A and B are shown apart, each in its own frame.
Chain A
């Protein structure tokens, strides 16, 4: 128990006492996602570039942001990443802040674009050595267990990203991201769940009746899932390739509305037998929402299609896994009258209520303290 307490303390206030320590930076490369992250101490950047514009001994976020372009230019000029002997382009991304044991660091996120990402890789590091001979950089790359250390006498490191280069690892990486996204993105799953809840049931004017046929339930589910997949794959691809672009607020609100409608359709069925059309229609919107994650991750031009394919496959795999887990339960429960008469109704009502909260939050851009 004491250990857990210590662990929590550790996680909460990582460094209660700031250290005096020699200068380090932390560089990591992820060829699977074509990204890099570089943590550089603000104190060192100030020594090199004079971040403290007004000379009051305190660096504000505004002062750093003001010089953001200069910081990226200064740092990225002193870093060369090459694959197969050809230098990669390092494109500045977002600038953030993080803390380490000796103070706060600027976090430079950047994208890698390599003409030939097959490897072998080399990194040449020359930051700060002319100003601080004791500066070191702890370098880790995807797949490395121990960081390598750059220093004035060891400013170049050659390595192979074991199992991390080429098409397959990129595909696998993005498939993992796609699966993760669909499994933690409740709105897409709730939409699908709402459409699957009545699988194996039939509507007659007075209510849902159990049909009790596995075959029909499976057919129901297959048509719904296929329709949803076709539609969202199409818009996912078009959005990720920048062919179409709709405002995120609009897309996210429409997704919430689609969940509410799908759930309400179980209580007041308008399209009881044609839920596949509902899945297809709203699938367009969901595809655009799913694509936003892929756009945020950013990928270099060379690997864009592979990343998209992998991501999409991951999304489908995650979706099928969820369906495989839920469908037998739904069909089994459908044999009992209580399911068709009340459980389905109340479950759908709950989903609709949740979706309405989302709709309000997303369309009004507020955060309701309910969920």
Chain B
């Protein structure tokens, strides 16, 4: 019975993503009726409009295009709004088709591919860019970030090294210490990054924020809750919070059962799927909130993403299936698919949690467990999960 309901729900989820028969189009009653509210028309919009006009006025000039694309990417990250990434990519298209594409164009395109988790083509573009311009810091940085997510810590560290000479000191320090912290040297990494931050008083606010988030994550993995909390709060105060920071801090709060704070943090950030997921996870524990509406919305959004062939949110969808729908098997399959692409501690965590819920054996998890053992990653949230697979002893 429960199973058939699941199919019904799935069907409704899929069907609702299409203009199904019951999705009735309507004729608004009067001309003054507002039928859509556009993203904020503040300074961003005016700036973007000016940049668009500049780029259109000089189709042969690259600098306005680069400026426009960088602005789109920043906005896309700040607002967690993928449409900006699409605009950025379209603006780059004509420049990518040229026989000798500019290294900056290649790097920006690689950043956009990285966003979509298309890591292999992104690395190939970065390789091309660095072959032309070996001192392009952004290319090394993006390359390091991708390799780190893929779990290739040695190569990632190698990609951080050139930053020492080409980028701001703090940027290089975040890059290398983030990698070291995952490769079994979290204590050293934490100390070094903290020192680098102390010596970087003149660094850009966004770079400081990035360093603080990294420090918070390292502290959290090491089980130092107080330090993690302090760094998250410093990061929130350093600059306008982006989706990554909010999601990481929300996860921290969820692990401490501080659900009301999660709601306070995310209540008006429901447009971004990862943040809506964390909000729904918190609401589930608060009797005064109804998480059903948000769960239904997530269901529809994941269905819509799948229809367009987008698998960027597999890790989040696995959490949704496991923790909000109690569908351990579906969650495990999604987490497994995600693990083939991304290998950060949070990816390992959802995979192990789903595997435990779905009753998977140690043998099935051997590749993951072996990877975690070989990397030497120290994570207070992963150790108990790994230990439970150890107990079963196969």
Among the 9-residue stretches A36-44, A204-212, A255-263, A266-274, the one with 4 or more Cβ atoms under 8 Å from chain B is: A36-44
Contact of A132 among B87, B296, B301 (CB under 8 A): B87
Chain A residues whose CB sits within 8 angstroms of the CB of B85 once the complex forms: 22, 134
Bound complex: CA A135 to CA B88 (Å): 12
Shortest beta-carbon distance from A150 to chain B in Å: 10
- The residues of B that contact A184 with a CB separation of less than 8 Å are none
Chain A residues near B25 (CB-CB < 8 A): 37, 39, 96-98, 107, 109
Contact yes or no, A21 B82, CB < 8 A: yes
Contact between chains at B273 and A61 (CB < 8 Å): no
What B residues does A147 contact at CB under 8 A? 18, 307
Return the contact of A14 from the options B16, B31, B93, B276 (Cβ within 8 A).
B16
Asked if A16 and B28 sit within 8 Å, CB to CB, the answer is: no
Task: Find out whether the CB atom of A59 lies under 8 angstroms from the CB atom of B5.
Answer: no
Residue of A nearest to B2 (CB): A3
Given contacts A58-B34, A61-B28, A149-B309, contact A13 B39 (CB under 8 A): no
Verify if B370 is at the interface (C-beta below 8 Å from A): no
Residue of B12, B19, B89, B310 ringed by the most chain A CB atoms within 10 A: B19
Q: Tell me whether B26 and A62 are in contact (CB under 8 A).
A: no
- Stretch of A23-31, A227-235, A240-248 that contacts chain B: A23-31
Q: Which of A21, A47, A138 has the most CB of B within 10 A?
A: A21
Q: Inside 8 A of A61's CB, which chain B residues have their CB?
A: 28, 30-33, 35
Beta-carbon contacts of A42-54 to B below 8 Å, as 1s and 0s?
Answer: 1110110000100
Q: Is the CB of B86 within 8 A of A23?
A: yes
* Inter-subunit contact A43/B36 (CB<8 Å): yes
CB-CB under 8 A from B17, the residues of chain A are: 101, 138
B83 touches A9 (CB 8 A): no
Interface residues of B in 7-44 (CB under 8 A from A): 8-9, 12, 16-19, 22-28, 30-41
- State whether A6 touches B292 (Cβ < 8 A): yes
Any B CB within 8 A of the CB of A18: yes
B79 sits at the interface (CB 8 A):
yes
Cα–Cα, bound, A98→B28 (Å) = 10
Distance in Å: Cβ of A51 to nearest Cβ of chain B: 8
- Indicate if A121 sits at the interface (CB-CB under 8 A): no
A57 pairs with B37, CB closer than 8 A: yes
Given contacts A58-B38, A96-B26, A97-B35, contact A17 B18 (CB under 8 A): no
CB of A342 within 8 Å of the partner chain = no
Contact at B89–A134, with CB atoms within 8 Å?
yes
A19 and B32 in contact (CB under 8 A), knowing A101-B17, A132-B87?
no
CB neighbours (8 Å) of A320 from chain B are none
Q: Pick the residue among B22, B92, B297 that contacts A17 (CB under 8 A).
A: B297
A21 touches B292 (CB 8 A): no
Do residues A6 and B296 form an inter-chain contact, with CB atoms below 8 A?
Answer: yes
In this assembly, does B293 line the interface, its C-beta being within 8 Å of a C-beta of chain A?
yes
Q: Are A62 and B32 in touch, CB under 8 angstroms?
A: yes
The chain B residue sitting closest to A5, CB to CB, is B292
A253 vs B310: C-alpha distance in the bound complex, in angstroms?
A: 54
B124 lies within 8 A of chain A by Cβ: no
How many residues belonging to A are interface residues under a CB distance threshold of 8 Å? 61
Do residues B36 and A133 form an inter-chain contact, with CB atoms below 8 A?
A: no
Nearest Cβ distance between residue B42 and chain A, in whole angstroms?
9
Chain A residue at minimal CB-CB distance from B76: A20
In the complex, what distance in Å separates the CA atom of A37 from the CA atom of B24? 12
Interface presence of B329 (CB below 8 A): no
Which chain A residues lie closer than 8 Å to B340 at the CB level?
none
By a CB distance below 8 angstroms, the chain B residues around A23 are 83, 86
Question: Do B300 and A39 touch (CB < 8 A)?
Answer: no
Q: A149 contacts B272, CB within 8 Å?
A: no
A65 to B41 alpha-carbon distance, docked (Å): 22
Asked whether A19 and B35 contact (CB < 8 A) given A37-B19, A149-B308, the answer is no
B86 CB contact (under 8 Å) in A22, A46, A60, A107: A22
A17 neighbours in B (Cβ, 8 Å)? 270-271, 276, 293-294, 297
C-alpha spacing A26/B51, complex, angstroms: 30
Asked whether B82 lies within 8 Å of A20 as measured between CB atoms, the reply is yes
Contact of A132 with B86 at beta-carbon distance under 8 Å, contacts A14-B16, A101-B304 already known = yes
Instruction: Give CA–CA (A21, B93) in the complex, Å.
Output: 21
Q: Tell me which residues across on chain B come within 8 A of A131, comparing CB atoms.
A: 87, 90
A17-B294, A147-B307 in contact; A133/B86 too (CB < 8 A)? yes
Is A359's CB within 8 Å of the partner chain B? no
Q: Are B83 and A132 in contact (CB under 8 A)?
A: yes
Q: In whole angstroms, how far apart are the Cα atoms of A100 and B301 in the complex?
A: 10
The verdict on B81 contacting chain A, using a C-beta distance below 8 Å, is yes
Is B80 interfacial (CB-CB < 8 Å)?
yes
A98→B86 contact, CB < 8 A: no
Best-surrounded residue of B36, B89, B272, B273 (most CB of chain A within 10 A): B36
Residue A363 at the B interface, CB < 8 A?
no
Q: Quick check: is B204 within 8 A (CB to CB) of the other chain? A: no
Instruction: Tell whether, in the assembled complex, residue B18 and residue A140 are in contact, meaning their CB atoms are under 8 Å apart.
Output: yes
Q: How far is the CA of A349 from the CA of B90 in the complex (A)?
A: 69
B18 in contact with A58 (CB, 8 Å): no
| Contact B32 A15, beta carbon cutoff 8 Å | no
CA distance A43 to B18 in the complex (A): 18
> Quick check: A56 and B292 within 8 Å, CB to CB?
no
7 A-B pairs with CB atoms under 8 Å apart are A16-B297, A19-B273, A21-B304, A57-B39, A133-B92, A136-B308, A149-B307
B interface, CB within 8 angstroms of A:
5, 8-9, 12, 16-19, 22-28, 30-41, 79-83, 85-87, 89-90, 92-93, 270-273, 276, 292-294, 296-297, 300-301, 304-305, 307-310
In the complex, besides A21-B301, A56-B41, A130-B90, 9 extra interface pairs with C-beta distance below 8 angstroms are A3-B5, A7-B12, A22-B85, A46-B38, A60-B32, A103-B36, A133-B92, A140-B18, A147-B307
Closest 9 CB pairs of A and B: A62-B31, A134-B86, A133-B89, A132-B86, A61-B28, A17-B270, A96-B25, A42-B36, A57-B41
